[in-house]
Amino acid sequence: MIEIDPSAVVSLDARIHGSTRGTRIKIGAGTYIYDFVVIRAVGGNGDVEIGPGCHINPHCTLYSGNGIKMGAYVLLAPGVSVVPTNHATARRDIEIRHQGFAPSKGGVTIEDDVWIGSNAVILDGTHIGRGAVIAAGAVVAGEIPPYEVWGGTPARFIKARP
């Protein structure tokens, strides 16, 4: 099921692919989904919930996987990928694409007022605290405390916001 608040703006060039398994995709009030964004229900049973006043800039990719919960006023710069799922890889006798998905690490939670820089990758099990900043190109897995700046591959603490 896809729910888009009437005050949200979704580009005609964005692609939102619903689920055949009942995954919900919900886009909040006043949110902007720009050109060439892809939101796809795939890779698990989680929902995608995008809060009010968010900006999802061009070329971002959000897979439902084990779930994405995004708070209010989150900014995703161009090219951000939010991918809360992983392929299983334990067996050599079966191609990876036929092994299904690895167990959930808890999905992705992005609290209010977070800015994620261009081409960052947010992985399953990530929780980004309120007011945090993720630098461009970072690969994030795990817990990011509120009001901190993180960057790098893998992401590491850079500084606290004043």
Q: Does residue 73 contact residue 50 with C-beta atoms inside 8 Å?
A: no
Q: Is 87 a catalytic residue?
A: yes
**CA-angle at 3, arms to 25 and 79, nearest 5°:** 45
Residue in 17, 87, 98, 127 annotated catalytic:
87
Phi, psi of 79 (to 5 degrees): 85, 5
Per-residue exposure over 97-110, b if at least 16 CB sit within 10 Å of its own CB, e if not: eeeebbebbebbbb
* 10, 17 Cβ separation under 8 angstroms: no
Q: Is residue 73 within 8 Å of 113, Cβ to Cβ?
A: yes
Q: Which residues are catalytic?
A: 87
